[in-house]
Chain A
């Protein structure tokens, strides 16, 4: 069908008013809000950081300098690498992966419990109560962890009371508070996909496996997990992307000596005053997280369509 025909058919089906609304709204969303800004950002990241007066002048040329900077550091230096930024980058991805695994490990049993074991009013109450922490602001959640993990916090007070330690332990520099806070922040995005996936599993399948003598571990490995795989990968993707792209929790809970990659981006935009470089770093973050997710999906043989459910 050629485009003109298609358009006529479209307006015939929807009528003029509705058809126009659909077309305008979707075009605005897709192009003005999604595609063009991303393209402009890519273009911008290839431009040099110039004062407004020199824009459009002879200095205003396309360059890869910001991407090179991320890898090699300053331009004068050929052989050395930008170890600071690269280190932060790798650590951010690894830490996000760790947070994802942590969330999966604690959420899977709970999701299974809520979907298959708990029932009646209590089960409903538990599912409902999961939502409450989610609607409390991200910053307030991080703040709560600072109250807990601070040197004057409850955890230190408890540990000292119990006699496990005799001096308050500072959880901030070694990022324990940060990982706990990040894991906490995105727990819901892990638990709901898992819960939805496991809930749709027919209980008879589990019982059949049990009747035939499958062990508890075997049932999960051969029946529940394969069935819940779309939910698992969906939850893991969300948690990984969000923790790699988190900004508030690292700002509030991160140790002073360990930056998060988003913080570097933020600094380029704020105090660093180099927007093109910030854009380049943002694109590196976007591209690497997407690549990472695609790789994991390939390894676990899940399709994107299943994830976005």
Chain B
């Protein structure tokens, strides 16, 4: 009994920890979008602000990337979904012996690393361009075209999987009946198979668009000189960041949540509709309570609560006055800085005074006090402490952070991968 209960507690704790791992980062990132600190962080939380959303909307490169991402997303949708559909329909028609080969080839883009797909696309069209003697402004070097093609390679395989799973539930007798009744092949396809596949086409299209929209590995190679949302984001994150990226994340998370809830409601409607029609077929009537239960489920309620809480906070904070808070924080910082200078001055005074004071009457007290002073000094100016933020101006940190990540790697790269350098190195070894 005891062991059972213990195990149950353990399981629940594990589930909670798992979901904390899943949502913790997203929640923290979302919180940092509302912090007025110039560097994206949660602690210390300075002032509640929505200014980063303004910064986000005014970011021209990001908007340009977004526009390209949307174009590419629709392009991929238009190419990948029909290809996936054709691939799925073809699967049943390919010769038995060839089928495993066929399946392996069309499914392989899912397993091939995105980086490799991007490179092969880039190289292929570049070679073709060379063969045809095309200029750099031709389609062979057009980043948007290359990205659509490169992404479609594997996204078509995703859509194919969606269609295959739908087709498995298709009764081919329906199509045969249509053909027997005199329908042409195209008619049978359009009137029987296509309507059956309609939901799958919808979900494949959504999937294709989303997969394209968030792809980075393939895009970063095929995009050439253009930019998409993800490539802009990546360079922003690597070379200096401000919380407007967190703000973008908030927008995406909220849209995703909306999508998930919408999808859930749709699913439930469909399930309820089939249930109702079955009930009608049996001559029963659906009760009101059943319909009400449709909306009273935890998913919908919790999401609504989250939205309410979010909008409530934004509204509440909007009335509070961000500027006043910022001024207060600034004053506090100035005060702290002043205290620090004072402390340093007094420390220097102690240092200067201590040798002379040793002979004086104050001698026993001085070392003790000096120790105290140094303690405080160390606490404030320890190199590690700079990062913790609470008493550091954000400007400094904003500059510091990207440098720390980027420049060592870059300089190291130049050292290592410059072929000339390598030869030098190996030469000096001998």
B186: contacting residue among A18, A156, A265, CB under 8 A:
A18
CB of B426 within 8 A of CB of A257, answer no
Of all chain A residues, which has the CB nearest B30? Answer: A144
Q: Which residues of A contact B417 (CB under 8 A)?
A: 264, 267-268, 271-272
CB distance from A230 to the nearest CB of B (A): 15
Are A152 and B389 neighbours in the complex by a CB distance under 8 Å? yes
By secondary structure, the B interface counts as helix
Taking the complex as formed, is B217 at the interface, i.e. its CB lies under 8 A from any CB of chain A?
yes
- B115 and A245 contact, CB distance less than 8 A: yes
Which of the residues A40, A136, A285 comes within 8 Å of B256, measured between beta carbons? A136
Interface residues on B, range: 35 or more
Binary interface encoding of chain A residues 152-196 relative to chain B, with 1 for a CB under 8 A from any of its CBs, else 0: 111011001000000110001000000000001001000000000
Q: Contact between B388 and A246 (Cβ–Cβ < 8 Å)?
A: no
Q: A23 to nearest B CB, angstroms?
A: 8
| Chain A residue at smallest Cβ distance from B27 | A144
Contacts A145-B25, A285-B113; A26 near B408 (Cβ below 8 A): no
Instruction: State in angstroms the CA–CA spacing of A252 and B21 once bound together.
Output: 19
**With an 8 A cutoff between CB atoms, is B156 at the interface?**
yes
Assembled-state Cα–Cα distance A60/B109 (Å): 31
- Chain A CB within 10 Å, residue with most, of B29, B130, B257, B382: B29
- Least CB distance from B314 to A in Å reads 20
Q: Are A137 and B41 closer than 8 Å at their CB atoms?
A: no
**Chain B contacts for A132, CB-based, 8 A:** 23, 26, 253, 256-257, 260
Cα distance, A106 to B154, chains bound together (Å)? 28
Contacts of A148 in B (CB 8 A): 24-25, 28
Number of contacts between A and B (CB, 8 Å)?
A: 319
With the chains together, A213 CA to B388 CA distance in Å? 55
Instruction: Tell me the complex Cα distance, A285–B152, Å.
Output: 22
Q: Which of B47-55, B119-127, B359-367 contacts A (4 or more CB under 8 A)?
A: B119-127
- Residues on the A chain within 8 Å of B43, using CB: 152, 154, 157
Query: Which listed segment binds B: A30-38, A197-205, A219-227?
Result: A30-38
In the assembled complex, the CB of A174 is this many whole angstroms from the nearest CB of chain B, namely 14
Give Cα A125 to B172, complex, Å: 35
**Per-residue contact bits, chain A 110-152, to B (CB 8 Å; 1 contact, 0 not):** 1001000100011011101111110111111111111110111
Q: How many residues of A contact B (CB 8 A)?
A: 113
A308 and B103 form a contact (CB under 8 A): yes
A22 to B86: give the CA distance in the assembly, Å: 5
Which of B32, B103, B409, B423 has the most C-beta atoms of chain A within 10 angstroms of its own C-beta? B409
Do B28 and A154 have beta carbons less than 8 Å apart?
A: yes
Digitize B389-430: 1 where CB-to-A-CB distance is under 8 Å, 0 elsewhere.
Answer: 100000001000100111111001110110100110011010
The residues in B between 75 and 130 inclusive whose CB is less than 8 angstroms from any CB of A are 82-83, 85-87, 89-90, 93, 95, 100, 103-117, 119-124, 126-127, 130
The stretch from B137-145, B237-245, B281-289, B317-325 touching chain A is: B237-245
Return chain B residues, CB-CB under 8 Å to A290: 111
Interface residue? B36 (CB, 8 A): no
Distance between Cα atoms of A267 and B412 in the complex (Å)? 12
Contact B119 A278 (CB under 8 A): yes
Q: Does any Cβ of B come within 8 Å of A291's Cβ?
A: no
Instruction: Name the contact of A252 in the complex, choosing from B115, B238, B387 (C-beta under 8 A).
Output: B238
- Tell me whether B315 is interfacial, beta carbon within 8 Å: no
B95 touches A1 (CB 8 A): yes
Q: A13 to B175, alpha carbons, bound, how many Å?
A: 12
B189:A18 contact, CB within 8 angstroms: yes
Q: Are A144 and B409 closer than 8 Å at their CB atoms?
A: no
For the complex, what is the distance from the CA of A136 to the CA of B413, rounded to whole Å?
30
Count chain A CB atoms within 10 A of each CB in B112, B241, B245 and give the residue with the most: B112
5 closest cross-chain pairs (CB), A and B: A245-B113, A15-B185, A151-B387, A25-B86, A256-B408
11 intermolecular pairs with C-beta atoms under 8 Å apart: A25-B83, A106-B21, A113-B15, A129-B299, A133-B22, A137-B252, A147-B25, A172-B405, A247-B217, A269-B122, A271-B414
